[in-house]
Amino acid sequence: MSFSSDAIANLCSSDPQTLTSDQVSHDLEFLRATLTGAEAANDHQGQILILRQMATLYLQKQQPQQASALIQMALTIALKQGYQQQAYDFQRQLSTLYKAQHNFEAALHHLEAAEEIASELRHPESLPLQGQAGSVARTHGKIGRAHV
């Protein structure tokens, strides 16, 4: 089973901005079950889409730490799979979330990691011969320092 962004959006009740607390809880429960299916199917894009939607719902619930953890999980998948554009997007989102939480060191770390990925996206010829794998490993190696 493959998950598209439209299918993930349709799994949820409606626009996350207009959901009641009960609807958010219901959607999160449903998405957790759907995530288990995507993991079992080894559907990396589906997992990323579901994690992103769950993070949006946690932000709606005013739980930025939980949202950050989910985006971090999506970032890890994107990096392992070589999805550089998505990794860039997640690094930027994490930078914004950490900044809002006044964790400026982590915010700066993720902003710098995003800029490194952006540079590689602009200049793919600078990647090592093994392709994006070397780039992904370098960027992924920096993630552990962000959790301060």
For residue 84, count CB atoms less than 10 angstroms from its CB and return exposed for 0-12, middle for 13-18, buried for 19 or more: buried
> CA geometry: angle at 78 spanning 26 and 71, to 5°?
40
User: pLDDT tens track of the chain, all 148 residues?
Assistant: 556 556 665 665 556 667 788 888 899 999 999 999 999 999 999 999 999 999 999 999 999 999 999 999 999 999 999 999 999 999 999 999 999 999 999 999 999 999 999 999 988 776 554 444 444 444 444 444 344 3
pTM score, whole prediction: 0.75
Q: What are phi and psi of 147, to 5 degrees?
A: -85, 85
Question: Which value, to the nearest 10 degrees, does the dihedral of the CA atoms of residues 70, 71, 73, 78 take?
Answer: 150
